[in-house]
Amino acid sequence: MRSNLGLFSDEKFRSIFFQTLVVGLFALGLFFVISTTSYNLEKRNIATGWSFLQNPAGFDISFSPFLEFKSTDTHLKVYFVGVLNTLLVSVTGCIAATILGFILGIIRLSSNWLLSRLVYIYVEFSRNVPLLLQIILWYSILIQLPRVKQSLQILDVFYISNRGLYSPRPIFESGFSYVSIAIVLALISSFLINRWAKKRQDKTGQQFPVFSSSIGLIFIFPLILFFILGSPLSFEHPELKGFNFKGGLVIRPEFIAMFLALSIYTAAFISEIVRAGIMSVSKGQREASAAIGLKQTWIMRLIIIPQALRVIVPPLTSQYLNLTKNSSLGIAVGYADLVHGFGGISLNQTGQAIECMAIVMATYLSISLTISFFMNIYNRSIQFKEK
Amino acid sequence: MKKLLSIFAVVAFAFSANAGTLDDVKNRGFLKCGVTTGLAGFAAPDDNGEWAGLDADMCRAVAVAVFGDRSKVEFITTTGKSRFPTLASGEVDMLARNTTWTISRDVNLGFEFVGVNFYDGQGFMVPSALGVSSATELDGATVCIQTGTTTELNLADFFRLNGISYEALPIETNDEGKENLFAGRCDVYTTDASGLSSTRAAASNPDKWVVLPEIISKEPLGPLVRHGDHQWGDVVRWSLNAMIIAEELGITSENVDAQTSSNVPEVLRLLGVEGNYGEMLELSNDWAYQIIKQIGNYSESYEANVGPDTPLEIARGLNALWTQGGILYAPPFR
């Protein structure tokens, strides 16, 4: 008894003992869940395994902008279509939410009473109404648009109906690859110019018009080439044939509803993060930079934002993760994302619930970890570097 | 540690206890029956909030067989997608949910279809203004389709076979299908022909919609239970068969009392006057009598819920008795 107590009073032993206990219990629990599951699956004659991935899906997915999908393709391809659609709405949503969030966050701090109040109302509204309702709201509005035969026409090239937004599809002809190469070259050289100009300014204090020269390089240089090559670009216009428009590019209302709801909802959170970030920079910084005669826009760009970013980026990362995970709500409006296609239809047609869910969860986990990884790298790069 | 192990043992038992559904139901005091989220004629709440329809009657018949009381049933709504996990996990005792009997569901999903309570086939419905008279004219149309169904697979096959293209608009419930079709988001709605009739009946102006003549698949719809519990499967199977046999024998809810003094041996066996068929099923001996008394025979249920006099206006067709030109047939009651 005494010796036992003695052992337990040893801090090192105690900590190892309890940690082993916790790990052991966890492993036992895990073992228990897995064995019960496989026991019951076997008992109910539910087939398990991964071979279903190679079986033909048998159903069609219409929304697949990156991969051609036919009903004879496999469930594995359903998975890839789903991942791409999830990424599409997540990436576009994150970009839009960031831009909107930054603008709104700054407006919220503006001294204009009306503007700042309007943003306040927007933020409170979209933060406090469930996202699912917002998605359904947007979708309900979109399917009340005119029917396809009565589409609204804009400039004779865009058509809006409850089947989506139809626009001309650009067709790149043979010479266009030179223009693309020109754009890439222009981007690289403006990046190099920017570096060179910074170095020169550090050394000599002389400034170089980086912005206007980059614009010139990126836009005007390829444009001239484009015309020299005889405009190797044409458009395929959508045409109403039979039931639907044929040809052209189309953005479906399911995607638009998801995109709008996700970006508007998340932008509200981001705008608050941006506001908090800007307010965290002490007032003295602004006053000091005004005192040395910097312009208002420069104060924001050179003094306030870089310091605010240190506060903004960590919670911003978690908003990106939220948006990506929230995109799984696409199922509510039939947006063919990962959960809806692979985690829903494939799961249901094959009955392989555990396998499908495991794959879907692992996929979301990897997407989230990838976002965190890159955001952490970015976060480190903007931290205050002590010398 | 001993205590912990015994807790695990109890939980393990609870997880694996899926045999003996009949005893579970009896102990619980009511039946849990999985139905659709609302499909008029099959299972939908009526004006009084009571579940009514052919499938709802199927649930009630089983409740009557077990408890002798048609109200001893809890209806649990399931979508096309949630129905199978709900049944497999034991959250419901049976499904009566317009579910098509297929080999993969019967074998691979670990279920057991106990019979067919409605022979159906997949059809198409379009606005009459489109002027379409055949499904083969639907090239390029947008089609509303419930996900996770056999109809989804038939649809892909049909269009592939006919070499025409379509765009699928995936939906989850019949209501979503209605909403999208009526708003013109899709041109065509496809599901079982009975479901189309039900949807059409619910439209503000049914004449604006036509069901196309093509029936592109066999859809035998029937109740199902978990595989491996044969005793329970028998109870559900024979509750359905009793209703069909009652129609064959001309026993209705009105004349069932008079029929107990019939001189036809099969009638007496069915109503529990002769033999001990109820005991074999571990039910009371008048179980079938009670089903007929409280629910009616198959024909009564059909006519009240989906027949020509209801808004659905579905003729008996394949669902007539085998003696009357249909294929409805139950094994003999002996």
- Over residues A260-316, the pLDDT tens digits come to 999 999 999 999 999 999 999 999 998 999 999 998 888 988 899 889 999 999 999
Residue B18's pLDDT is what?
47
Our count of domains for chain B comes to 2
Question: Do residue B286 and residue B306 come from a single domain?
Answer: yes
The domain that holds B188 is classified in CATH as: 3.40.190.10
The span from the CA of B141 to the CA of A148, in Å, is 11
CB atoms within 10 A of CB A257: 25
- Residues in A 305-344 with any Cβ partner in B closer than 8 A: 331, 334, 336, 340, 344
Q: Are B61 and B117 spatial neighbours (Cβ–Cβ below 8 Å)?
A: no
Q: Which of A318, A288, A319 is nearest to A302 (CA)?
A: A288
Question: Do residue B72 and residue B196 come from a single domain?
Answer: no
Among B184, B217, B250, the domain-final residue is B217
- pLDDT, tens only, A207-227: 788 788 888 888 888 888 888
Question: Do residue B139 and residue B115 come from a single domain?
Answer: no
Amino acid identity of residue A335, one-letter, is Y
The span from the CA of B83 to the CA of B224, in Å, is 11
- Residues in A 132-161 with any Cβ partner in B closer than 8 A: 143-144, 147-148
**Beta strand pairing status for B166-171 and B141-146?**
parallel
Mean pLDDT of B21-49: 93
Q: A348 vs B107: CB contact, 8 Å cut-off?
A: no
Residue B5's pLDDT is what?
46
How far B171 CA lies from chain A's nearest CA (Å)?
6
Query: Any idea what the Cα angle at residue B182 is, between residues A166 and B314, rounded to 5°?
Result: 140
Residue A180's pLDDT is what?
84
Q: Does residue B169 sit within a domain?
A: yes
Q: Which two tokens stand for residue A154?
A: 């804009």
Residue A128's pLDDT is what?
94
Mean pLDDT of B81-108: 89
Amino acid identity of residue B172, one-letter, is E
Chain A CB contacts of B88 below 8 Å: 44, 46
Indicate the pLDDT class of residue B12, thresholds 50, 70 and 90. very low
How far B194 CA lies from chain A's nearest CA (Å)?
22
Which of the given ranges, A157-166, B132-141, B243-252, has the highest pLDDT on average?
B243-252
Q: In chain A, where are the structural domains located?
A: 2-43, 75-168+251-382, 170-236
How far A94 CA lies from chain B's nearest CA (Å)?
26
Question: Do residue B145 and residue B285 come from a single domain?
Answer: no
Question: Do residue B247 and residue B110 come from a single domain?
Answer: yes
- CATH class of the region A75-168+251-382: mainly alpha
Residue A209's pLDDT is what?
81
Query: Of A78-92, B79-93, B274-288, which gets the smallest average pLDDT?
Result: B79-93
The span from the CA of A139 to the CA of B246, in Å, is 49
Phi, psi for residue B207 in degrees, rounded to 5 = -65, -15
Question: Do residue B57 and residue B103 come from a single domain?
Answer: yes
Q: Which two tokens stand for residue B173?
A: 């419930």
CB atoms within 10 A of CB A294: 16
CA distances from B15 to B2, B22, B89, B157 (A): 20, 17, 9, 39
Average pLDDT of chain A is: 88
Chain B CB contacts of A22 below 8 Å: none
User: Which SS3 state, helix, strand or coil, does residue B116 take?
Assistant: coil
Query: Of A84-88, A144-148, B90-94, which gets the smallest average pLDDT?
Result: A144-148
Exposed / middle / buried, residue B117 (Cβ in 10 Å: 0-12, 13-18, 19+): buried
Q: Is the pLDDT of residue A45 over 80?
A: no
Question: Do residue B303 and residue B232 come from a single domain?
Answer: yes
The span from the CA of B108 to the CA of B85, in Å, is 13
Q: Are A234 and A64 spatial neighbours (Cβ–Cβ below 8 Å)?
A: no
Which of the given ranges, A123-132, A159-168, B309-318, has the highest pLDDT on average?
A123-132
Question: Do residue B95 and residue B128 come from a single domain?
Answer: no
R_g of chain B, CA atoms, integer Å: 21
Q: B184 vs A59: CB contact, 8 Å cut-off?
A: no
Q: Is the pLDDT of residue B200 over 80?
A: yes
Question: Do residue B115 and residue B126 come from a single domain?
Answer: no
The span from the CA of A262 to the CA of A130, in Å, is 11
Among B202, B217, B232, the domain-final residue is B217
Percent of chain B with pLDDT strictly greater than 90: 63
Q: A349 vs B152: CB contact, 8 Å cut-off?
A: yes
The structure tokens 């001893």 sit at: B72
Indicate the pLDDT class of residue B324, thresholds 50, 70 and 90. very high
Query: Over the range A183-215, which residues count as b (16 or more CB within 10 Å of their CB) and which as e?
Result: beebeeebeebeeebeeeeeeeeeeeebeeebe
Percent of chain A with pLDDT strictly greater than 70: 97
The span from the CA of B62 to the CA of B71, in Å, is 11
DSSP H or E stretch at residue B260: none
Indicate the pLDDT class of residue B11, thresholds 50, 70 and 90. very low
Indicate the pLDDT class of residue A44, thresholds 50, 70 and 90. low
Residue A4's pLDDT is what?
60
The boundaries of the domain holding residue B149 are 122-217
Q: Are B147 and B191 spatial neighbours (Cβ–Cβ below 8 Å)?
A: no
The residues facing B224 across adjacent strands are B95, B113
Query: Residue B39 has what DSSP assignment?
Result: B
Q: Does residue B12 sit within a domain?
A: no
Q: What is the pTM of this model?
A: 0.80
The span from the CA of B55 to the CA of B61, in Å, is 10
Q: A71 vs B157: CB contact, 8 Å cut-off?
A: yes
R_g of chain A, CA atoms, integer Å: 28
- Chain B touched by A71 (CB under 8 Å): yes
The span from the CA of B297 to the CA of B241, in Å, is 10
E strands, B129-174, in order: 141-146, 166-171
Q: Which two tokens stand for residue B105?
A: 């569901």
- Which of B147, B159, B182 to probe the A interface (max A CBs under 10 A)? B147
Query: Of A235-249, B84-98, B229-243, B291-305, which gets the smallest average pLDDT?
Result: A235-249
Indicate the pLDDT class of residue B45, thresholds 50, 70 and 90. very high
The residues facing B328 across adjacent strands are B321
The span from the CA of A305 to the CA of A303, in Å, is 6
DSSP string computed for A113-179: HHHHHHHHHHHHHHHHS-HHHHHHHHHHHHTTSPPGGG-EEETTTEEEETTEEEEPEEEE-TTHHHH
Indicate the pLDDT class of residue B112, thresholds 50, 70 and 90. very high
Q: Which of A32, A244, A345 sits opposite B167 (nearest CB)?
A: A244
Q: Are B285 and B278 spatial neighbours (Cβ–Cβ below 8 Å)?
A: yes
Strand order in the sheet with B166-171: B166-171, B141-146, B188-192, B122-127, B209-211
Q: Which of B85, B59, B81, B80 is nearest to B70 (CA)?
A: B59
Chain A CB contacts of B228 below 8 Å: 43-45
Amino acid identity of residue A367, one-letter, is I
Indicate the pLDDT class of residue B7, thresholds 50, 70 and 90. very low
Among B187, B217, B247, the domain-final residue is B217
Q: A44 vs B179: CB contact, 8 Å cut-off?
A: no
DSSP H or E stretch at residue B245: helix B230-248
Q: Does residue B135 sit within a domain?
A: yes
Residue A115's pLDDT is what?
94
Q: Which of B104, B142, B183 sits opposite A144 (nearest CB)?
A: B183
Residue B16's pLDDT is what?
43
The span from the CA of B299 to the CA of B296, in Å, is 8
Question: Do residue B169 and residue B253 come from a single domain?
Answer: no
Indicate the pLDDT class of residue A122, thresholds 50, 70 and 90. very high
Q: Does residue B13 sit within a domain?
A: no
The span from the CA of B8 to the CA of B222, in Å, is 38
- pLDDT, tens only, A337-363: 999 999 988 988 887 888 899 999 999
Question: Do residue B130 and residue B88 come from a single domain?
Answer: no
Mean pLDDT of B119-138: 91
Q: Are B152 and A59 spatial neighbours (Cβ–Cβ below 8 Å)?
A: yes
Handedness of CA B80, B84, B85, B89 (dihedral sign): positive
The structure tokens 């932008």 sit at: A267
